[in-house]
Structures are given as C-alpha cells and as structure tokens.
Amino acid sequence: MRIIICLCVLGGALSLTQLDYEEEIEDVNDENHEFDLLSAAKYLKQYGYLSENYTITSLQEKNYKDDILSQAILKFQDFYDITGDGILNNETIQLMKKPRCGVQDHPEKFTIYRDRVKWKHNKIRWKFLLGSWLDQKVAQKCFEEWARHTNLSFYRNETSPNILISYGRRYHKYSKRCMGISKCPYDFDGRGLVLGHSHYPDGVNEGAEPCYEIHLDIDERWDRNITNKSIPYGYTSLYQTLLHEIGHSLGLFHSSANPSVMYSFYNDSRSKLELEQDDIYAIQSLYGKPKRFNVRNKKVLNSPTMRTPTTTTTTTTDVISLNPPNLCSVNNNIDRILVVNNHLYLFYKDWVWVISLNKKRIEPPMRLKDYIGIPELNFHDGGHIYQRPSGEIILFHKTKYYLIDSTNFKVQYEQPIENMGLPKISSYKVL
C-alpha cells in the first residue's frame, strides 16, 4: 500500500485536506472483483439480512447450497425490487457493489425505527467537528431541509451538541465528548463503498445531554456543492450523503424507494436538494408537520414559534387579534433588510416577511418576538442585524447583542453590549 498525503496550512493551522490510497489488492466494489456467494454472505451479514451467528466458512466449498443464504438473498431482492428467486444474479451483484450508507437495512417497507428512537425534544443542537467552513455550510443546508418539513428546530452549537458530525478513516473511534472513546464498531473501507454511517437516537446514549454521532469516510472525494449542479465524475456529494445520515440520526430507517433520500445506495444522478415525498411522510410520522400561521383565518396551525390560542368566552390571545400589515403599503418604510441562505428578510416594526429568492415565494408576515424569540423586538425603534462571514447572525437590541442561528433564526446566546468593549448606556440605536 502506498500512501500519498497532501497537507496545507490555513490560518496557521495544519489541515489534512486529502489522503489518497492506492490499493494493491482488489476491493469488493472493484468491477473486476469476483463477487461470489462468500462475498454476498459477508455483505448480507454486514447489512442485517443474515444473523450475526451465521457462519460463512463452508461457503468456500464449490456448489455449496444454503437455504438460509438463499432466503437472505431473496429478502434483499424483494426489498430493492430486484427480479430474483434467491439466486445471486447479476442485477443483485451490481447493486451490492454500489457505494452506500454503512447503516444496516431493515427490510420492512416503512422507514421508521420503531423502538424508542425518537428525540424527546424538538430543539436539536449540532456540530461538525473540525469541519471546514464549507462543511459547516453543507451541514447547515441539510438541517434546514429537514426542518422545513417537520416540527424540529436545529441549532449549531460548538460546546454541547446533540448530533456530532465528524470524518473518520477505516478503524476509527467515537468522540470522547459524545459517545465515549471506544472504537466505532463500523469500520470504513477506503474510497468507494461505505460513505458514512450514523446512530439512531435509541436512548442508549441519553442523559442530561444526549449526543449521537455521524461519521463520514474521509477517504471519499467529497464535493461540497449545495446547488442543483451535477457532481463531477469521481466525486461524491457531501450534501446528499449527509442529508441521508441526518435522517438516521432523527430516527429513520432505510427506504426501498429510489430516489428517496433515505434510499441505502448513493445515487450519483440525483441533483435535487429537496426531500422526496417518501422521506417527508416518514419524518412527519415521527415529529408531525411543520407549524405555520394561517393569515386568512388569523389562527395558528400547530405553530412552534407562536403561542397556541387560548379560547374563552371573554378573552382572546395575541395570535387571534393579529392584524398583519400589507407589504405593498409599507415597502417604502422597511426598517431593516437581510439576505441569508437565499432568503430575503424584510423587517418592519415588530414584523418580518421571509421571501424565498429561489422559488420567488413570500411567506405570510410573522411577529418578530415569535419568530426570533426576543420579547419587544422592534427595529422601528432602533437595533441592527447582520450576518458574519462565518454564517452566524448578530442582532443588537436595546442593551444586549444576540447570536442567532442562521438555520432557524433562534437565539443561541445573548450578552450585554458592554462585553464588546462599548460603553454602558441605556439603549443603542444603530442607524
């Protein structure tokens, strides 16, 4: 084995950017490799179709027949809609040799991990350990897509994440601050077959601060594009792979539906950034639909960012009495404008409009105090908001400044403005 290592120095720190392996032995996914019954048995055992107690040494005998192995092959063929009768045919072999997720299959048609594997809260913190700014950007985009379809909020948190993403190589360990320092039982295999794996929120590692890990094979040639452009030949989409692994970390099984995001195998022709309907149904069955505000009826439809209406015979809540302003009538009086993640945010007094620049779609206006979670927030009376080059959003309001997560506009922390070295006064107004 010859190892080629390329190193670069970024900002004074040594960073490993590429490690290429040139193997002198054949890999299982090599097109010239003879994928026989022994190879198939190892594969089916690795991905959950054969029992851990199943022995494979006798398969080296010529013309060996095994009903258990035939049933496992048939189960694999049935799950992926391959024509077959338990015989290891060419179509089955070609699928087994494709790059895929390292998490085991569960050959049921429904995609939910049923036994206690669901987050008990809907605000989940994440971190990409030693990830570059491009890695962070890809991860943020992935979490945004899952949040768009269900009642979950995701926050980037560098100190106490619930989901920790990291790169690993072949034999690798868990992180000491997440799942301990023991060896991860799922080794990587170098470039080309197992792309990544993750852990379900199964309750095993839960405590006061539950944390589960996602591992990505560093030896893959990762493309970090987050547009609909096609991926260069020989590269693997980090976005598509991580979007899939996050699905596992939220409690989803593999899907047999191609081109579902939760399909086990990597689809190099898939450039779509959105979840498929199969994925949406699965995640919503665990956590419900995203909660939105119905402007016409002036009521909350399961909204996580607004208080649920309380109905009595004499009182109404803030939500029921809302009278949203008309954007066309206030467009010359907008207080602040912010562009983040291909969305345009228009702030007027204590309201905000969110406009998708890609889909040219405008969402109904929302109350700032509900959308961001800061009481009495009103840019008409002062304050300022901007985005750092690193992606975080900084908001100044009265005597404090806030760090806002750009994936969901929720407050990560707040500090007095004098902590920035400014003099202490009763209020700041940034013009």
In the prediction, which pLDDT does 6 show? Answer: 36
Residue 269: how many other CB atoms lie within 10 Å: 8
DSSP 201-216: --STT-SSS--EEEEE
- Across the range 101-121, mean pLDDT stands at 68
In the prediction, which pLDDT does 208 show? Answer: 58
Contact 163, 249 (CB under 8 A): yes
- Tokens for 48? 């959950």
β-strand pairing of 100-101 with 2-10: unpaired
Band of the pLDDT at 241, cuts 50, 70, 90?
very high
Q: E strands along 187-276, which residues? A: 194-198, 212-217, 222-223, 236-237
Q: Answer whether residue 78 shows pLDDT above 80.
A: yes
Q: E strands along 132-239, which residues? A: 153-156, 163-168, 194-198, 212-217, 222-223, 236-237
The candidate with the shortest Cα–Cα distance to 278, out of 148, 144, 101, 111, is: 111
More confident residue, 88 or 341: 88
Using CA atoms of 232, 235, 241, 243 in order, give the dihedral in degrees to the nearest 10: -30
- Tokens for 211? 């944390």
Q: Answer whether residue 18 shows pLDDT above 50.
A: no
In the prediction, which pLDDT does 393 show? Answer: 85
- Across the range 91-98, mean pLDDT stands at 93
- Across the range 338-364, mean pLDDT stands at 79
Q: Answer whether residue 36 shows pLDDT above 90.
A: no
More confident residue, 60 or 363: 363
Residue 318 CA to residue 308 CA, distance in Å, equals: 10
Residue 423: how many other CB atoms lie within 10 Å: 6
- Tokens for 287? 């956590």
Residues 6+ apart with CB under 8 A from 16: 5, 7, 218
β-strand pairing of 212-217 with 163-168: parallel
β-strand pairing of 222-223 with 212-217: unpaired
Average pLDDT, the chain: 75
User: Phi/psi of residue 394, each to 5°?
Assistant: -110, 130
The domain defined by 325-431 carries CATH number 2.110.10.10: yes
Q: Answer whether residue 102 shows pLDDT above 70.
A: yes
Residue ranges of the binding site: 101, 172, 189-190, 197, 205, 207, 215, 217, 220, 244, 248, 254, 262, 335, 337
In the prediction, which pLDDT does 56 show? Answer: 67
Q: Answer whether residue 300 shows pLDDT above 60.
A: no
Q: At what angle do helices 37-46 and 67-79 cross, to 10 degrees?
A: 60
Residue ranges of the binding site for Ca(2+): 189-190, 205, 207, 217, 220, 335, 337
In the prediction, which pLDDT does 223 show? Answer: 92
Contact 259, 239 (CB under 8 A): no
The candidate with the shortest Cα–Cα distance to 132, out of 213, 65, 218, is: 218
Q: What share of the chain is helix, strand, coil (3-state, %, to 5)?
A: 20, 25, 55
pLDDT in tens, 138-175: 999 999 999 999 989 999 988 889 999 999 888 888 88
Band of the pLDDT at 384, cuts 50, 70, 90?
confident
Contact 260, 272 (CB under 8 A): no
Q: Answer whether residue 19 shows pLDDT above 80.
A: no
Residue ranges of the binding site for Zn(2+): 101, 172, 197, 215, 244, 248, 254, 262
Q: Answer whether residue 216 shows pLDDT above 90.
A: yes
- Across the range 213-226, mean pLDDT stands at 92
Omega within 30 of 0 (cis) for the link into 259: yes
In the prediction, which pLDDT does 67 show? Answer: 81
Residue 162: how many other CB atoms lie within 10 Å: 22
CA distances from 105 to 43, 263, 264 (A): 11, 10, 8
pLDDT in tens, 167-214: 988 888 888 778 777 888 888 888 888 999 998 887 655 555 788 999
Least confident window among 13-22, 167-176, 337-346, 363-372: 13-22
The candidate with the shortest Cα–Cα distance to 192, out of 172, 159, 222, is: 222
Superfamily in which the 123-287 domain is placed by CATH = Collagenase (Catalytic Domain) (3.40.390.10)
- Across the range 357-376, mean pLDDT stands at 74
Active-site positions?
245
Contact 337, 320 (CB under 8 A): no
